[in-house]
Homo-oligomer: A and B are copies of this chain.
Amino acid sequence: VDDRLTPAELDLWHAWKLAAESVRTQVAADIMAATGLSDPDFGVLTRVVEVGGGRMRQSELAESMGYHRSRLSHHLTRMEDRGLVAREPAAAGGGVDVVATEIGVAAVADARPAHAVAVRRHLLEPLVGCDLGAFRAAVDRLAVRA
Residues of B within 8 A of A12 (CB): 123-124, 132, 136, 139
Once the chains bind, are A3 and B112 in contact (CB under 8 Å)? yes
Instruction: Identify the stretch in A17-25, A71-79, A98-106 within 8 Å (CB) of chain B at 4 or more residues.
Output: A17-25
Q: How many copies does the complex hold?
A: 2
Asked if A140 is an interface residue, CB under 8 A from chain B, the answer is yes
A136 in contact with B20 given A9-B120, A112-B4 (CB within 8 Å): no
User: Which of B3, B26, B119, B143 touches A18 (beta carbons < 8 Å)?
Assistant: B143
Interface residues on A, range: 35 or more
Asked if A34 is an interface residue, CB under 8 A from chain B, the answer is no
Once the chains bind, are A20 and B20 in contact (CB under 8 Å)? yes
Once the chains bind, are A127 and B142 in contact (CB under 8 Å)? yes
Q: Which of A113-132 contact B (CB under 8 A)?
A: 113, 115-117, 119-120, 122-124, 126-127, 130-132
Instruction: Identify 25 residue pairs between A and B in the complex whose beta-carbon atoms are under 8 Å apart, listed by A's number.
Output: A2-B116, A3-B113, A5-B119, A5-B120, A12-B124, A12-B132, A12-B136, A15-B136, A15-B139, A15-B140, A16-B139, A18-B143, A19-B139, A19-B140, A20-B20, A22-B142, A26-B144, A122-B142, A123-B142, A126-B141, A126-B142, A127-B138, A127-B142, A130-B134, A130-B137
| With A2-B116, A12-B139, A17-B24 already in contact, 6 other A-B pairs whose C-beta atoms are closer than 8 Å | A9-B124, A15-B143, A19-B143, A20-B20, A22-B144, A26-B144
